[in-house]
Structure 1
């Protein structure tokens, strides 16, 4: 069996790829760059994770058109990536409009071309203020798109096993599978060290604290 794994190089997607391998899939790693501030660090980590999994293929696709669209602090230099405040007032500006639909569409194209049976994506319904393209309803709807828009003989399952899990639960599963978290990157702002104060750093550090293990990557600030 083969699976296309969307591999950003972050904590969740790296754990996801290890889960897919544990399920018996041979990994086709798909890494997507879209001009985010830490894209080089993410790319380096994604390559290391793919190598640790003996991935059959590591494909990088450039989605820099998302910078032309803008609408997110990850793709628009005029917007600022803020510190985590703990106050949820609508979507955070790190939400990239409809990003996951773009990612899954490309992953589906790759899966159909390679004869893969599954596409894995590490979304969580609890991500930050509830990104709309991380909800179970979105995954269910996109499965229908895949079923409708691929060849009749094609059967591709969209797998989102973390969608109802917490980051701490994901991390504990990763520990059991031996995920090398020192080779992952989650910070929105900085390639080295991680800032420690953006939403992504905050939730990653909180998960490690709750798991009772120190995060192995360097931080400018450890909240």
Structure 2
């Protein structure tokens, strides 16, 4: 198998599932530290799984996002609203054009290393509030990446039209221990259990029949 891919991996359950799902094709994993409340909890898990799989892993700091962008994800745990993703107040957790920035850097890395594909683990449940997770955004970035590189780098987002529960079922089949991932946006010592990503994670794991700590 040809290792032709760069993966954007956060340390959350979606990207870790994709890491294992496509491990035979991944030449490089990249994690972005943009100063969110939970980066410090996620990044060690990204590193752990990449080391376990023998996949080279780099962390790229994006300090400017924390300094200049507006999002409750960047303002401290107290700014994170509780509730389900479907609720209007969850829009405050959007980091403007985050995936666009990360994908652009990952595409540059891919072309620099002669790799043809960039993997990202956005999924159907993200579409409600995150514009840069929607199918039309991924399609547009894919076209831009191909048009803007000599080697026609493609954006590959295989989970775009499936649910987080579907991802959890895939992870279960792959034998992933989701206790070794982090989702909570508040980034405390233990998951809060009440923010949008905690609620969605619990629902997905329950639907997939997975018991975690």
| TM-score of Structure 1 vs Structure 2, range by shorter chain | over 0.9
Partner of 2:205: 208
Partner of 2:80: 81
Query: 1:69-101 deviations in whole A, cap 9, x for unaligned?
Result: 222011234971011157622762111001000
Partner of 1:220: none
Given that residues 5 and 119 in structure 1 are in contact (C-alpha distance below 8 angstroms), is that contact kept between their aligned partners in structure 2?
Answer: yes
Counterparts of residues 91-102 of structure 1 (less than 5 Å): 92-102=91-101
Distance between the aligned counterparts of 2:85 and 2:146, measured in 1?
39
Distance between the aligned counterparts of 2:156 and 2:186, measured in 1?
29
**Structure with greater proportional helix content:** 2
Given that residues 38 and 185 in structure 2 are in contact (C-alpha distance below 8 angstroms), is that contact kept between their aligned partners in structure 1?
Answer: yes
| Structure 2: segments with no counterpart, 5+ residues | none
Number of residue-to-residue matches in the alignment: 211
Given that residues 6 and 119 in structure 2 are in contact (C-alpha distance below 8 angstroms), is that contact kept between their aligned partners in structure 1?
Answer: yes
Partner of 2:38: 38
Taking structure 2 as the reference length, the TM-score comes to: 0.92
Taking structure 1 as the reference length, the TM-score comes to: 0.88
| Structure 1: segments with no counterpart, 5+ residues | 217-223
Given that residues 73 and 80 in structure 1 are in contact (C-alpha distance below 8 angstroms), is that contact kept between their aligned partners in structure 2?
Answer: yes
Distance between the aligned counterparts of 2:86 and 2:20, measured in 1?
33
Distance between the aligned counterparts of 1:138 and 1:157, measured in 2?
13
Partner of 1:2: 4
After TM superposition, the structure 1 stretch with the greater mean CA deviation from structure 2, 186-195 or 160-169, is 186-195
Distance between the aligned counterparts of 1:177 and 1:7, measured in 2?
17
Query: 1:176-207 deviations in whole A, cap 9, x for unaligned?
Result: 11223221101100242111111011000111
Cα 1:194–1:78 shift into 2, 3 Å: closer
Partner of 1:138: 137
Given that residues 118 and 156 in structure 1 are in contact (C-alpha distance below 8 angstroms), is that contact kept between their aligned partners in structure 2?
Answer: yes
Partner of 1:27: 27
What secondary structure, in the 3-state scheme, does the structure 2 residue paired with 1:84 have?
Answer: coil
